[in-house]
Structure 1
Amino acid sequence: MDWKVGYARWKEFQGLDREMRGLLKEMEMDENRLEEAFYKNLEFGTGGMRGVIGPGTNRMNIYTVRKASAGLAGYILEHGEKAQERGAVIAYDSRHKSYEFAMESAKTLATYGIRTYVFEGLRPTPELSFAVRYLKAFAGIVITASHNPPEYNGYKVYGPDGAQLGLEAADRVIEKVSALSDELLIQVKDEAELKKKGLIQMIGEEIDRSYIEHVASISEQPQLALETDVKIVFTPLHGTGNIPVRRGLETLGYMNVTVVAEQELPDPDFSTVQSPNPEEKAAFEWAIRYGKAADADILIATDPDADRLGLAIKDTAGEYVLLTGNQTGAILLNYLLSQKKEKGELPRNGRVFKTIVTSELGRQIAESYGVSCEDVLTGFKFIGEKMEAYHQSGEYTFLFGYEESYGYLIADFARDKDAIQAAILAVEACAYYQKSGRTLYETLLDIYDRYGYYREGLASMTFTGIEGEKAIQSILSSFREHPRTEIAGRKVAAIEDYLTGKRLDRQTGTETPLRLPASNVLKYIFEDQTWICIRPSGTEPKIKFYFGVVGSSLQNSRDKLEEVQSRFMEKMNQLV
């Protein structure tokens, strides 16, 4: 795509939004910025789209949002009048332009005669997932860029099951979006007129109440709040989690909750943090200050759209440590299964889901309770897809789903990761172990002692722009064209290539099918159970490297991970 052609089209368009025209004029002397904004269309992929806000075909703006919504409208209409009448639910977070993009989405769908339900204020992503099924809608949209920097926003699409669109449906929407050549020419009707006709309806409190009731229902020990006094510090990191997390905790009787005042209210600039990402320790700086002042037992952080949860707990020295997603997942899973077993509520066909880059510790825990564990590709949509398939077939009963990137789901009234559910269960687990004289940190050590000293790490390399995309593909091509037999001093036992769908056993030379959808991911498994996985990020200009080891002790696993990760990344830096 010639960026100059796209730029000229926008510059000459007489009806261009005033704000967009002003921003475009600011860029006119900077060819690099113009090229980045126009060298391609903002990609609408299997998870929707995400990008920097601003003018251009490669940016998030009202025109690219209209184009995405028009493509979705085409997909809904081809499913007939019932799908059109069932319509779509739309939610949005606290980011710049989220409300505007939500309304542009609604107006576009409604212009095509599709009923739309729009939340009256910002709401978390998992509540959108819940609302799709509550309202029996045919689709859902959430305007969010999760924990990306403030200049980003995004657009995610959900199906009638409340999960992000599966691959087949997403491909069909992508086809519809790609068929629209000029985003500037997509017209929308007047908002007031569409509301008067009932094609845009505002929603809120009724769904909030039902969602919180469902969240409270996940409690395994509802009386624990009365029997303990868990001291909680919570930060929504300027996002959507503030009200639903607090309401959920209050419903169950957990009243000793201190909210970080500096991060309580929505702020699209996330001004108190460098990144609103609960995976990063820096995001917990304020919570830790509050925690020390209140002598809190548990610190909780949710990301801007409240689908990811981070926890910090006291170690044996009384210092707050941030748990990894794998560690939080292990604690939640162990608590959940132990309670269900104690009450005789573990189904014979129970199943736990995790992604291919999530710790094997989860599998060990699940199988110790007689529960099977299934791997899916990275991305919670694949867990949601499996949930619906097994719900229809009855073959397995969903018990828990999680991924290393701080996403957890306990009950299937939502079909996407849910930080509100996870926060409730984490606090209840804290109360349960506190009652028996154990801290959450001691509980984690107990889990390691019983199942093995698993440790995981993540590293990434960022490559921006046109050349960046080429660099990422070059790295993956290098590993495919020249398969490694040894990495970081360890012999490769097997290579899993999720693009070709084959697992190669290096010792026997035999290939077996992986039976998962094609994805541009490589995983190396070593003789000592160490593994390394390589995949490009689906939402950021990065290539990610995941590492997993098993050690003979906590310290040994830390040392082993550090050695493997540092030696591998040293080679990667040389390669680039």
Structure 2
Amino acid sequence: MDAEKLREMASAWLAEDPDPETREELEDILGKGDEAALADRFGGRLEFGTAGLRGLIGAGPNRMNRSVVIRTTAGLAAYLLEHVPDAKERGVVVGYDGRRLSDAAKDDVAAVLAGHGILARVFSDVAPTPLTAFAVSHLGAAGGVMVTASHNPAAYNGYKVYWGNGAQIVPPHDRGIAEAIEGVGELASIPRMSEDEARRLGLREDLGDETIAAYLERVRALSLGGGGRDRVRIAYTAMHGVGGALALRALSAFGFADVHVVRAQMEPDPAFPTVEFPNPEEEGTLDLALELAEETSAGLVLANDPDADRLAVAVRGKDGAMHTLTGNEIGALLASHLIEDDPAKGDRLVITTIVSTPMVGEIARASGVRYEEVLTGFKWIANRAMELEAATGTRFVLGFEEALGYSVDAVCRDKDGVSAAAVFAELAARAAAEGGGVLDRLEALYRRFGLHRSRQQGFTAPGAEGHAKIERTMARLRSEPPERIGGARVVGIRDYHTGTATRADGTQTKLTLPRSNVLAFDLEGDSRVIARPSGTEPKIKFYFDVREPVAASETLEAARERAEERIDRLAGDFAALASS
């Protein structure tokens, strides 16, 4: 796109931008004649998909800003009015986190909804993502909007959409809403209503204490009982996010009183001053919580990400040191607890994603529990759970993805780091009451099902050139698939883009999941490698899984060393193959 066209687009944007901050940013860019900055903001646009929107905050269609929020909400409102007959009366739940832009954006969402005659049901204060998702189904709303960028750095924000079932949107709704957004005209043509007028006409209501109380009551019902609570001391961090108050109330509801918090990270702070990247998977993000655990002699660290839809955990071992658990280890422990410690039993269901540890499936099948795998993303877990619940009468007990995402029961139809924290604390209490600890439970699982070791590698490739490189890598892996990886023979390839599974002898079967740009290589010796581009970041991700049997006479460490050697070979060899 030539420079003159970019300047024309920027000037048109500037003329209708309602935000003084982004107007000032754009005026400065135009004044400096910074064509690269203009191209970055106006050479593309944020694409609306099943995760809604997420991007850097700033001016232009390729950034998160009030103009984008207003247009997106106008498209959403039009789609709801067309497809949900009683959308006006049921309304739309609006939640928001503590990031830059979130507070103003939530008012823009409410103004556009009210302008279309749709009741805006707005949280009166910042709200965790799981509470917003819960409110959609609890209140019978037609949909929901959560203004958040979850665990992204401080420069980001986002816009997540829920359907009336309380789950994130999936096809065809994502495409339909995107098309409706494309049909939105100039900003001045979008009907918006002031807050005072909306309240006067009954088109804006506040959500707060009653919704929170209802959520906590559902969380409290998840308890499986058991002792040991007096033996568990907890160090908790909200990571500068919005989950702190709700998490403490949930832990209290489960009977945990000995809880210490990282004060420096307890209140929402859009600058995230103590963590550069507030994703609890990133190295260093738990440092303050681990320091607090040492200061207070806590044996359990619980950490939510900024919008509290994820949970990270560290536990104290017999060696006296704190051990940070992986998402797969947390998922396996929760699955075992919710399946084997549950006195209700019955027809139960566990769902994970294709990139999460296969160990959870083994745990489920050993107890006769239904088990399914879906594509990456909690939207697929939640929607598939509801389909199976309706079709079979099964009881959903756990949804899990390796990136620290867990949904216990059906409290909300999305990741819920708050309820997961309370349930994990109860798991730790049970382990203590049995005279052991969480790591003892994990070792017992490894000795029973084999030591499962997982690793993820991500390679960032920003911009159009990076996107093209990622596409070339996936195309090459399809056209020239490896016969061996890390010395292990490839015995099958699952291509979720073509929807086919091919065995080593050439026989093919159809995959039942929706089409997605994912390749899975199944290897001899119960190992696998999966490659997929990220849906929310400019990177390609590789997932490695191995299973190492543990002999009764050997230490767990010996099996772990063998597993590490195998996964090192897989990761090194595959990275070289992918980059060649």
**TM band (smaller chain):** over 0.9
Aligned to 1:299: 301
CA RMSD, Structure 1 to Structure 2 (Å): 1.6
**Shift, 1:182, TM fit:** 4.5
Match of 2:437 among 439, 454, 469: 439
Aligned to 1:570: 576
Question: Distance between the aligned counterparts of 1:291 and 1:214, measured in 2?
Answer: 29
Q: In 2 relative to 1, CA 181–473 (structure 1 residues): closer, same or farther, beyond 3 Å?
A: farther
Secondary structure at the residue paired with 2:15?
Answer: coil
Of 283-292 and 555-564, deviating more is: 555-564
Query: Cα deviation per residue 1:419-477 (whole Å; 9 max; x = unaligned)?
Result: 11110011001110101111111211111111101010000111111212111111111
Question: Does the CA-based 8 Å contact 2:16-2:187 persist in structure 1?
Answer: no
Secondary structure at the residue paired with 2:122?
Answer: strand
Question: Does the CA-based 8 Å contact 2:254-2:426 persist in structure 1?
Answer: no
Question: Distance between the aligned counterparts of 2:7 and 2:513, measured in 1?
Answer: 40
Question: Distance between the aligned counterparts of 2:434 and 2:571, measured in 1?
Answer: 38
Alignment of 1:26-45 (within 5 A): 26-28=28-30, 29-45=33-49
Question: Distance between the aligned counterparts of 2:481 and 2:570, measured in 1?
Answer: 18
Query: Cα deviation per residue 1:292-329 (whole Å; 9 max; x = unaligned)?
Result: 11111100110011010000112332211211000001
Q: Does 1:550 align with 2:551?
A: no
Question: Does the CA-based 8 Å contact 2:351-2:385 persist in structure 1?
Answer: no
Of 547-556 and 325-334, deviating more is: 547-556
Q: Does 1:509 align with 2:506?
A: yes
Question: Distance between the aligned counterparts of 2:538 and 2:187, measured in 1?
Answer: 24
Secondary structure at the residue paired with 1:238?
Answer: coil
Aligned to 1:530: 527
Aligned to 2:567: 561
Secondary structure at the residue paired with 1:304?
Answer: coil
Of 183-192 and 213-222, deviating more is: 183-192
**Shift, 1:100, TM fit:** 1.0
**Shift, 1:71, TM fit:** 1.0
**Shift, 1:14, TM fit:** 3.0
**Shift, 1:105, TM fit:** 1.1
**Shift, 1:99, TM fit:** 1.1
**Shift, 1:501, TM fit:** 0.7
**Shift, 1:488, TM fit:** 2.2
Percent of residue pairs bearing the same amino acid type: 37
Query: Cα deviation per residue 1:22-57 (whole Å; 9 max; x = unaligned)?
Result: 101222332222111111121101220100000011
**Shift, 1:134, TM fit:** 1.4
Q: In 2 relative to 1, CA 4–560 (structure 1 residues): closer, same or farther, beyond 3 Å?
A: farther
Question: Distance between the aligned counterparts of 1:547 and 1:402, measured in 2?
Answer: 17
Aligned to 2:310: 308
Query: Cα deviation per residue 1:212-258 (whole Å; 9 max; x = unaligned)?
Result: 11111100006653xx3310000000101101110011122211000
Q: In 2 relative to 1, CA 110–368 (structure 1 residues): closer, same or farther, beyond 3 Å?
A: same
State the AA in 1 paired with 2:519: L
Aligned to 2:357: 359
Q: In 2 relative to 1, CA 52–162 (structure 1 residues): closer, same or farther, beyond 3 Å?
A: same
Alignment of 1:22-421 (within 5 A): 22-28=24-30, 29-180=33-184, 182=186, 186-221=190-225, 224-225=228-229, 228-340=230-342, 343=343, 345-347=344-346, 349-421=347-419
**Shift, 1:154, TM fit:** 0.5
Secondary structure at the residue paired with 1:283?
Answer: coil
Question: Does the CA-based 8 Å contact 2:280-2:303 persist in structure 1?
Answer: yes
Question: Distance between the aligned counterparts of 1:538 and 1:184, measured in 2?
Answer: 32
Question: Does the CA-based 8 Å contact 1:501-1:514 persist in structure 2?
Answer: yes
Of 529-538 and 6-15, deviating more is: 6-15
Secondary structure at the residue paired with 2:172?
Answer: helix
Question: Does the CA-based 8 Å contact 2:450-2:548 persist in structure 1?
Answer: yes
Q: In 2 relative to 1, CA 183–223 (structure 1 residues): closer, same or farther, beyond 3 Å?
A: farther
What are structure 2's unaligned runs of at least 5 residues? 550-558
Aligned to 1:449: 447
**Shift, 1:490, TM fit:** 2.0
Q: In 2 relative to 1, CA 2–221 (structure 1 residues): closer, same or farther, beyond 3 Å?
A: farther
Question: Does the CA-based 8 Å contact 2:315-2:325 persist in structure 1?
Answer: yes
State the AA in 2 paired with 1:9: M
Question: Distance between the aligned counterparts of 1:4 and 1:401, measured in 2?
Answer: 51
Question: Does the CA-based 8 Å contact 2:339-2:367 persist in structure 1?
Answer: yes
Question: Distance between the aligned counterparts of 2:297 and 2:138, measured in 1?
Answer: 40
Question: Distance between the aligned counterparts of 2:5 and 2:479, measured in 1?
Answer: 37
Query: Cα deviation per residue 1:495-521 (whole Å; 9 max; x = unaligned)?
Result: 111111110112x21110110011111
Question: Distance between the aligned counterparts of 2:464 and 2:172, measured in 1?
Answer: 28
Secondary structure at the residue paired with 2:231?
Answer: coil
**Shift, 1:9, TM fit:** 2.9
Question: Does the CA-based 8 Å contact 2:477-2:578 persist in structure 1?
Answer: no
Question: Distance between the aligned counterparts of 1:454 and 1:100, measured in 2?
Answer: 46
Question: Distance between the aligned counterparts of 2:232 and 2:280, measured in 1?
Answer: 21
Question: Does the CA-based 8 Å contact 1:10-1:16 persist in structure 2?
Answer: no
**Shift, 1:181, TM fit:** 5.5
Query: Cα deviation per residue 1:377-400 (whole Å; 9 max; x = unaligned)?
Result: 000000111122123223532121
State the AA in 1 paired with 2:345: L
Secondary structure at the residue paired with 1:291?
Answer: helix
Question: Does the CA-based 8 Å contact 1:298-1:312 persist in structure 2?
Answer: yes
State the AA in 1 paired with 2:544: F
Query: Cα deviation per residue 1:355-385 (whole Å; 9 max; x = unaligned)?
Result: 0000011011111111121000000000111
Question: Does the CA-based 8 Å contact 1:2-1:39 persist in structure 2?
Answer: no
**Shift, 1:178, TM fit:** 2.3
Question: Distance between the aligned counterparts of 1:266 and 1:57, measured in 2?
Answer: 27
State the AA in 2 paired with 1:114: I
Question: Does the CA-based 8 Å contact 2:167-2:414 persist in structure 1?
Answer: yes
State the AA in 1 paired with 2:15: Q
Question: Distance between the aligned counterparts of 2:3 and 2:467, measured in 1?
Answer: 17
Question: Does the CA-based 8 Å contact 1:391-1:397 persist in structure 2?
Answer: yes
Q: Does 1:519 align with 2:516?
A: yes
Q: TM-score, normalised by structure 1?
A: 0.95
Aligned to 1:9: 9
Secondary structure at the residue paired with 1:167?
Answer: coil
Secondary structure at the residue paired with 2:264?
Answer: helix
Secondary structure at the residue paired with 2:529?
Answer: strand
**Shift, 1:187, TM fit:** 4.6
What are structure 1's unaligned runs of at least 5 residues? none
Question: Does the CA-based 8 Å contact 2:227-2:430 persist in structure 1?
Answer: no
Question: Distance between the aligned counterparts of 1:323 and 1:346, measured in 2?
Answer: 27
Question: Does the CA-based 8 Å contact 2:239-2:306 persist in structure 1?
Answer: yes
